[in-house]
Amino acid sequence: MNSKTLYGPFTQLLTMEGLPLHGPLKDEELQVQRNQGVLVNAGVISEVDMYDTLAQKYPEAKRNLYDHKNLIALPAFIDCHTHICWGGSRINDYALRVAGKSYLEIAAAGGGIMDTVTATRSASEEELIKGILKRANQHISQGIATIEVKSGYGLSLNDELKMLECIKEANEQTEAELIPTFLGAHIKPKEFDGSHKEYLDFLLREVVPEIKEKGLAKRADIFVEEGAFGTEESREYAEKLIELGFDMTMHVDQFHPGGSKIANETGCVSADHLEFTDDKGVEVFNNSKTVAVALPGASLGLGMKFTPARKLLDGGASLAIATDWNPGSAPMGDLITQASVLGASEKLTIAETLAAITFRAAFALRIEGGVIKENNPAAFTVFETQDFRDIFYQQGQLKPAATIIKEKCFEF
């Protein structure tokens, strides 16, 4: 049975191979290849070469996308920070925010994360899976093939396990790759009768062993912030999870600085948010293996400043950009629009923006990906335009013509 498919010809193809993981990038560093084709065999990239060469070499290959004009191909995008498993809505929070209430004020008054926790606990597994799949399919239509998905709206043994099991089931039903992250340490639930430290001890004692036994997640996260968890208790929690073999990440510096230092010192794979990272915080990312993850969707959703992406890159950081897609602070869920707006605000080159949603985002998840490369699983996205820069110039209005994930080609 012939399983070869030849995609193209592509007016421009950017593989994103061979670029550095850290620091600034100039657009001139991008290698733009012309009149290329990509041969996929059984879901794996077999060859990348001139389209005419591949067409002559493999006459038996099925042709796909050949009837389009001015196609450009890029590695499929990676959204390395989302919360797309949830129940309910936070529209009331949004109305209060635009009327002048702060995120922390709304949370203190009974809204915020706990509102979504209540709705998620009440939702059936079927409802949660349906929601994940709907959002994952929307991501695929935006050129995204890999999506990190956090728990954190359960905050009890059974409800955290329910969320992670729903993420696992949804992963089996979508062509996108869903990467689960345990975020039981989102906030301390109201009904927990004990300190923040005691709640973290409960997670380590009761919840984490179940997650490991069932193989539900290899990553964990904690929200380090006023109203959530303090720096020292977060440090101890992270160190224990890393000892247990988890890749650790942290929500830090969203409203107050200081957490980025803890994330780097403990060896977290990423430190996410960073809107209030100060100059001392920027310094710790210099050539660090901890990726700085900007979440412009949260800045837009909360009406607050952006992560200092320009300073981080100039300071030697590895910068990724993700949506933070969640029902409260970041309901937009549009990676290209958010990355474009952040790039315009922070004066990021197009090369830096592309790197932040491809191979540098892959590094934040510690996975192979974000490049078009022979022997890699097929994961690339295609736009109908003459110039790849048009994607960001149009700030999210130009949508993909197709997203290829392994043996599937989704045309839009």
**Residue 313's Cα: distance from chain center in Å?**
19
DSSP 287: T
Alpha-carbon distance of 408 to 412, in angstroms, equals: 13
**275 close to 253: Cβ distance less than 8 angstroms:** yes
pLDDT value at residue 110: 75
- Whole-number Å distance between alpha carbons of 246 and 243: 7
Measured between alpha carbons, how far is residue 94 from residues 225, 226, 301, 311, 341 in Å? 20, 20, 8, 30, 20
Residue 1, pLDDT score:
57
CB 361 within 8 A of CB 367: no
Identify whether the C-beta of residue 45 lies closer than 8 Å to the C-beta of residue 39: yes
- Within the chain, all domains assigned CATH 3.20.20.140 are found at 78-365
**Per-residue model confidence as pLDDT tens digits over 214-239:** 999 999 999 999 989 999 999 999 99
Burial of 183 (0-12, 13-18, 19+ CB in 10 A): buried
No. of helices (H) and no. of strands (E), the chain: 17, 18
* C-alpha neighbours within 13 Å on the C-beta side of residue 352: 25
Q: What is the pLDDT of residue 66?
A: 82
Q: How far apart are the first and last CA of the chain?
A: 27
Taking each helix axis from N to C end, the angle separating 125-141 and 157-173, rounded to the nearest 10 degrees, works out to: 50
Please name which of 60, 29, 34 lies closest in space to residue 49, comparing C-alpha atoms.
34
Contact partners, residue 201, CB within 8 Å, separation at least 6: none
Question: For the domain with range 78-365, which CATH number is right: 2.60.40.790, 3.30.420.40, 3.40.50.11540, 3.20.20.140?
Answer: 3.20.20.140
CATH number for the segment(s) 4-76+370-411? 2.30.40.10
CA distance 309 to 282: 9
**Nearest CA-CA partner of 304 in 106, 57, 121, 102:** 102
Closest by alpha carbon to 388, among 103, 30, 3, 24? 30
Alpha-carbon distance 10 to 372, whole Å? 13
**b/e per residue, 347-374, with b = 16+ CB within 10 A?**
ebbbbbbbbbbbbbbbbbbeeebbbbbe
- Counting as low any pLDDT under 50, the low residues of the chain are none
**β-sheet with 219-223: strand ranges across:** 77-79, 144-150, 177-185, 219-223, 247-252, 270-273, 291-294, 319-321
Q: Which residues of the chain does CATH 2.30.40.10 include?
A: 4-76+370-411
Burial letters 134-144, b for 16+ CB under 10 A, else e: ebbeebbebbb
